[in-house]
Amino acid sequence: MTPPALQAHLAAELQRIRDADLYRVRRVIDGGHGAQIRVNGQTCINFCSNDYLGLASDPRLAEAARAALAHGTGSGASALISGYNREHQRLEETLADFLGVPRVLLFSTGWAANLGVLRGLLGRDDTIVADELNHASLIDGGRLSGARYERVPHRDAAAFGDVLSRLTPHASRLTLVVTDSVFSMDGDVAPLPELAALSARRGAALMVDDAHGFGVLGPTGRGALEACAAHADIRTGTLGKAAGAAGAFVAGDEDLIEYLVQRARSFVFSTAQPPAVAAAARRGVEILRDEPEHRQQLFDNIRRFRDGAAALDIPLGDSQTPIQPLVLGDAARALAVSQRLFEQGYWVAAIRPPTVPRGTSRLRITLTTAHRPEQIDALLEALAHAWRTD
């Protein structure tokens, strides 16, 4: 049985979360994860998925996974023991070729990739200079590394420069500038050219988490760095968003990847992803590389949504990416508007603290290639009514 002290603590904390309108509940999806889904027994249009190019339900990815499943399911061990399959190698090589980097290393999740890099590279004598709205995996990885942590105001290149100018260069110590490319709750983009120039000038390395840019931004879908013609020394990305599968990667030069193979604990001590997942991810990367029409349709949908919101005086955030936030402030209000939309057949997640700062609870609306124009227009009509009448 649960000890009484622990039971009392858990009950009190859960009640506190409920009272603050911050309680989270999972919803169950039957079948595929496309634009139209069946969730908790109700058919609805999904406007809170990161499946930006609609590849999660593309039959070609399923077929690639099915072919690999003919040889089994799990990998059986970590990559350094016996879990490194030919499918993993092929995916790493495909990603490296697509991104134009010497090497890529696969991780099971984006969280594992970011923690692996930061804990593997940094120690007590090093410094991390990080955007205050970085993803939680970057924050936790930086703190767990033991490095000095310098938190910089959001997207403030001048503030990054001020911090870097105060640091004393030391040949044996690392300074790592760390930022998301596209910020997951606001959809805005980091000032990557400025950060790259500042890092180079001050002898710091630049790490960019391109989870929401990879496959979406840039002339060929290589991500935010391609879109703004900037260079990062370390790039992480996910295969569970635009690529339609699962897993993550770190891209960089030969020495970086080889060092992470030796020292990234979340790589060394994790079972390798199932080969079938790697096969599906590789097919997803090939499709987003070879079929630019998916990105074109995505940005057509983004423009349609933003133009429609402007016409209806819906105050969206300043985002030109698939992530379109509508900040409502109060957590209870965000929940109420989200529920009203769900009752009308539109699933738009209410995002509340601690995911976003207190007082900035919001609807996080995400557009994908798979959304049809009439679905976007209908959402706008429902949204205009729901947020005004709450």
Residue 358 marked as a ligand binder: no
**Is 24 flagged in the annotation as binding?**
yes
Q: How far is CA 230 from CA 3, 197, 226, 304, in A?
A: 55, 9, 7, 29
Q: Which residues are CB-contacts of 371 (< 8 A; sequence separation ≥ 6)?
A: 35, 45, 47, 301
Q: CA of 88: how far to CAs of 63, 104, 252, 276, in Å?
A: 17, 11, 17, 9
| C-alpha to C-alpha distance for 66 and 75, rounded to whole angstroms | 15
Pair 196, 147: CB distance under 8 Å: no
Do residues 98 and 119 touch, judged by C-beta distance below 8 A?
Answer: no
Q: Which of 348, 369, 325, 353 is nearest to 183 (CA)?
A: 325
Angle 362-366-371 (CA atoms, 0-180°, nearest 5)? 140
135 annotated as ligand-binding: yes
Q: Which residues make beta-bridge pairs with 365?
A: 324
- Answer yes or no: are the C-beta atoms of 233 and 256 closer than 8 Å: yes
Residues sharing a CB contact under 8 Å with residue 24, sequence separation 6 or more, in sequence order: none
Residues 6+ away with beta carbon under 8 Å from 206: 176, 177, 179, 195, 196, 199, 231, 232, 233, 234
Residue 238 annotated in ligand binding: yes
Sign of CA dihedral 33, 34, 35, 36: negative
Q: How far apart are CA 254 and CA 243, in angstroms?
A: 24
Question: Residue 145, annotated ligand binder?
Answer: no
Rg (CA), the chain: 21
Residues acting as catalytic residues: 184, 212, 241
Residue 355 is assigned to a ligand binding site = yes
Residues belonging to the binding site for substrate are: 24, 135, 355
Residues belonging to the binding site are: 24, 135, 184, 212, 238, 355
Residues belonging to the binding site for pyridoxal 5'-phosphate are: 184, 212, 238
